[in-house]
Amino acid sequence: MAWIWRFEAADGTETAPAVEPEEFTTQGDAESWIGEVWKELLEGGAAQVRLFEDSTEIYKMSLSAAAEA
């Protein structure tokens, strides 16, 4: 089982991440990583991310909303 982030521009198109992710074995590891690098990802052009467990989408999250919080 692999947890994978997909990085998207504001219009929903896939974009290359400013920080290259690893392949995560747990949801917690994936979420911890995004919590550490979200500012760099946002500055690098990713406006939102989607978390997948293998090929199943778990959720979508806006990085710009995190910046406003």
In this prediction, residues 9-18 reach a mean pLDDT of: 96
Whether the model pTM is above 0.85: yes
Res 69 pLDDT > 80: no
Contact 42, 23 (CB under 8 A): no
State mean pLDDT over 8-28. 95
The predicted pLDDT at position 1 comes to 82
- Residue 58 inside a domain? The answer is no
Looking at the 3D structure of the chain, how many domains does it have? 1
Could you tell me which residues are beta bridge partners of residue 2?
Answer: none
**Mean of pLDDT values over 32-57:** 96
- pLDDT of 15 over the 80 cut: yes
Q: Is 20 part of any domain?
A: yes
Residue 9: inside a domain: yes
Determine the Cα–Cα distance for residues 66 and 49; give it in Å rounded to an integer: 12
Q: Would 13 be classed as within a structural domain?
A: yes
> Does residue 19 lie in a domain region?
yes
High-pLDDT (> 90) share of the chain, %: 87
